[in-house]
Amino acid sequence: MKKISVFDIVNVIVQLLLMFIMVYPLWYIIVGSLNDGQDLMRGGVYLFPRAFTLDNYRAVFYDNAIVNALMITVAKSVLGTLTSVLFTTLVAYGLTRPNLKFKKLYIAVIMFTMFFGGGLIPYFLLIQSIGLYDNFLVYIIPSLFSVWYMIIIQSFLREIPPSLIESAKIDGAGEYRIFAQIILPLSKPVLAAVALFTAVSHWNSYFDSMMYTYSPGLQTIQLYLKKVITDPSAASGIGVGIAQQIPGAAQKITPQTIKLATMVVTALPIVAVYPFLQRYFVKGVMIGSVKG
């Protein structure tokens, strides 16, 4: 039996403390969102709700604005992730082909965009000039391609034996068929990892909604959350609205509990997706770290 050293004990204690420091704020948000608002103001609620209630969530979902923002964000995340992963993979595959003409020029231009940009004002004017301002496609088209994810996908594609592609060509398969029936199925680990990163980026983004849209119908959930947190009247307005529909709700909710419930609603969907991609995620992030 291995002897437990002082280092092992200290290491476990430090790791548990770090885990508690990172996890407890999230747990407190959940506990506070499930607690009576007036009771929460008294303090002393730390680990579990003292006066359990779901009125905070009822108040949040009573507001049509958050429902619309949630639908916009889901559509943005799903469509943005699918199109971005597909387009970036197509470019990565094309640049790995040895017979691609002007490949060095394409790579040079692409890598240039990774390190240099025109700035916010020229980018805003570009978005406006091509008709993407206050358009749902402003969430999709500008994010179609990522240089960094292209490099990651390229690293994976280079490990696929060229003999597979050559055998498919001998059997009469074209580039698109090779890409769809060979490259994509074999690239599931890296595509899942890139898809997860892209989806989280889309879900958490609020700057594009704040800068390139003005219609309330195109507001994303993160921008809605920002308004609820920074504008006290926004959270108070939600409470006033549900108080008129549900008797007694006004005594159970406060602007603080509305904020906490909104935070949970905005974070829960993307957290729920992670377990389904976890088995691919570990493989994807290890690409290129070990050379055979």
Percent over 70 (pLDDT), the chain: 87
| Residue 224 within a domain | yes
153 by Cβ neighbours in 10 Å (0-12 / 13-18 / 19+) ranks as buried
* Closest C-alpha among 116, 117, 139 to residue 127: 139
pTM of this prediction exceeds 0.75: yes
Three-state DSSP class for residue 208: helix
Alpha carbon distance 106, 117 (integer Å): 17
What pLDDT, in 10s, does the model give residues 175-234? Answer: 888 888 888 888 888 888 888 889 888 988 888 888 898 888 888 988 888 887 777 666
Q: Is residue 10 part of a domain?
A: no
Report residue 280 as tokens.
Answer: 């691919």
Residue 5 lies in a domain: no
Weakest mean pLDDT among 42-46, 49-53, 151-155 = 42-46
Q: Is 63 a domain residue?
A: yes
- Give the three-state DSSP class for 247: coil
pLDDT at res. 233: 67
Mean pLDDT of the region 277-286 = 60
Q: How far apart are CA 28 and CA 23, in angstroms?
A: 9
Name the amino acid, one letter, at 246.
I
- Segment 30-58 shows an average pLDDT of 82
More confident residue, 24 or 237: 24
Token representation of residue 84: 């971005």
Indicate left, alpha or beta for 98 from its phi (over 0: left) and psi (-120 to 50: alpha).
alpha
Can you give the residue range of the structural domain that contains 263?
54-285
Residues 6+ apart with CB under 8 A from 89: 153, 183, 184, 187, 191
How many domains is the chain built from? 1
Residue 269 confidence (pLDDT): 81
And the tokens for 47? Answer: 């680990």
- To the nearest whole number, what is the mean pLDDT of the chain? 82
Please tell me the distance from the alpha carbon of residue 81 to that of residue 78, in angstroms, as a whole number.
Answer: 5
| Predicted pLDDT of residue 235 | 61
pLDDT of 80 reads 93
Digit-coded pLDDT (tens) for 64-109: 888 888 899 999 999 999 999 999 999 998 888 888 888 889 888 8
**Contact yes or no for 81/167 (Cβ under 8 A):** no
Tokens coding 281: 């995620």
Query: How many CB atoms are closer than 10 A to CB 262?
Result: 27
CA–CA distance, 79 with 137 (Å, rounded to integer)? 10
In a domain, 7, yes or no: no
* Mean pLDDT to the nearest integer, 4-33: 88
Q: What is the CATH number of the domain that holds 102?
A: 1.10.3720.10
Q: Decide if 20 is inside a domain.
A: no
